[in-house]
């Protein structure tokens, strides 16, 4: 399967969208994004006084006729937007029906497809750094061009979830190693024992525009199992004996909702966009309606 669960028709519709970047692209490479740099593309930006040696082709003669002064027309230079996607492939992402990891790959594939069709540069950073994923990881780093999209999606399909993740460390490392800042999109359940705050702070401090997409399974939000349970942490292997009745279920759901609200508040305070979705969400509705209405893309 090449399309990571995305239909050909959906991929075609995604090609018509463009990621919303609040900040100007700073990459030195040509693309289709407005930049603060001044060049000679088709989008007019400003005027400046003529100085000796300027290209006479960019003189505004109509302005000279009115003001009797020479001005040079300036245009927006079009630059590419570096897009970095952080994909959580820890063992906890294997949970749920549908699996959280499968849904996460769909979102990453969709975002990468939109970015590549818009001639932005895409890198997917998968964590934890497992040997089984390293070949595919190399193929989905520093990718550019519409023709690269299906190849990137094919390599996404080869990834496997497992082992313990280190969300904060993965985000910090990504912030440090990125040569150019741009858009950083974190796709994770945010259920890492060490938390998420330090990693997100590192991306923001580096200058990234950050978007967080949290994926939880329906069972994590609305558990259906009751009684005396033996609970095993998927990543640490820690075992706990618990009694889980209907009263505990209400307390649990309140705690989960409070955690999601806490993440949202933390993100909002730092200018980070935040989405929380379930793995059984309709992918077409999420991508084409919810994310468009939320100005994830246009």
Look at the block and give the residue holding tokens 């246009």: 298
pLDDT confidence of residue 239: 80
Mean pLDDT score, 181-200:
96
Mean pLDDT, residues 223-233 taken together: 77
Whole-number pLDDT of residue 50: 80
User: In this predicted structure, what is the pLDDT of residue 141?
Assistant: 92
Looking at residue 282, its pLDDT comes to 95
How far, in Å, CA of 95 to CA of 109, rounded? 20
The pLDDT value given to residue 30: 46
Confidence tier at 52 by pLDDT (50, 70, 90): confident
Domain regions of the chain by residue span: 8-24+80-293, 31-79
- Separation CA 100–CA 88 (nearest Å): 10
Handedness of CA 173, 178, 181, 184 (dihedral sign): negative
Highest-scoring range by mean pLDDT, 197-201, 222-226, 248-252: 197-201
- pLDDT > 90? residue 4: no
Pairing of strands 121-127, 30-49: unpaired
Query: Is the predicted pLDDT of residue 79 greater than 80, yes or no?
Result: no
Average pLDDT, the chain: 86
- The span from the CA of 13 to the CA of 288, in Å, is 8
pLDDT at 89: 96
* pLDDT value, residue 225: 79
- Helix pair 197-206, 246-269: axis angle to 10 deg: 20
Residue 140 neighbours by CB distance under 10 Å? 26
| pLDDT tens by residue, 132-166 | 999 999 999 999 888 899 999 999 999 999 989 89
CATH class of this structure's domain 8-24+80-293:
alpha beta
pLDDT digits 0-9 by tens, 282-293: 999 999 999 999
Q: Is the pLDDT of residue 34 over 50?
A: no
The pLDDT value given to residue 100: 97
């Amino acid at each position: 399967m090449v399309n990571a669960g995305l239909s050909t028709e959906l991929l075609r519709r995604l090609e018509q969208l463009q990621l919303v970047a609040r900040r100007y692209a700073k990459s030195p490479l040509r693309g289709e994004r407005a930049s603060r740099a001044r060049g000679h593309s088709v989008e007019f930006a400003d005027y400046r006084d003529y100085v000796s040696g300027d290209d006479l082709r960019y003189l505004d003669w109509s302005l000279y006729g009115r003001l009797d002064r020479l001005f040079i027309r300036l245009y927006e230079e079009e630059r590419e937007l570096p897009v970095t996607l952080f994909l959580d492939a820890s063992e906890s992402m294997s949970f749920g029906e549908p699996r959280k990891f499968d849904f996460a790959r769909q979102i990453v594939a969709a975002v990468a497809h939109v970015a590549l069709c818009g001639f932005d540069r895409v890198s997917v950073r998968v964590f934890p750094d497992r040997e089984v994923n390293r070949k595919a990881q190399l193929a989905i780093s520093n990718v550019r061009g519409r023709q690269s999209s299906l190849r990137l999606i094919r390599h996404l399909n080869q990834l496997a979830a497992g082992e313990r993740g280190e969300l904060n460390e993965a985000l910090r490392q990504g912030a440090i190693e990125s040569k150019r800042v741009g858009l950083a999109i974190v796709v994770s359940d945010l259920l890492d024992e060490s938390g998420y705050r330090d990693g997100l702070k590192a991306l923001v401090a580096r200058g990234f525009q950050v978007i967080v997409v949290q994926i939880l399974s329906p069972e994590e939000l609305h558990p259906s199992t009751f009684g005396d349970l033996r609970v095993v942490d998927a990543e640490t292997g820690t075992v706990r004996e618990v009694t889980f009745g209907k009263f505990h279920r209400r307390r649990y759901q309140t705690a989960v909702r409070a955690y999601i609200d806490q993440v949202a508040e933390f993100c909002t305070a730092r200018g980070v966009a935040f989405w929380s979705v379930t793995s059984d969400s309709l992918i077409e509705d999420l991508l084409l309606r919810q994310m468009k209405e939320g100005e994830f893309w246009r």
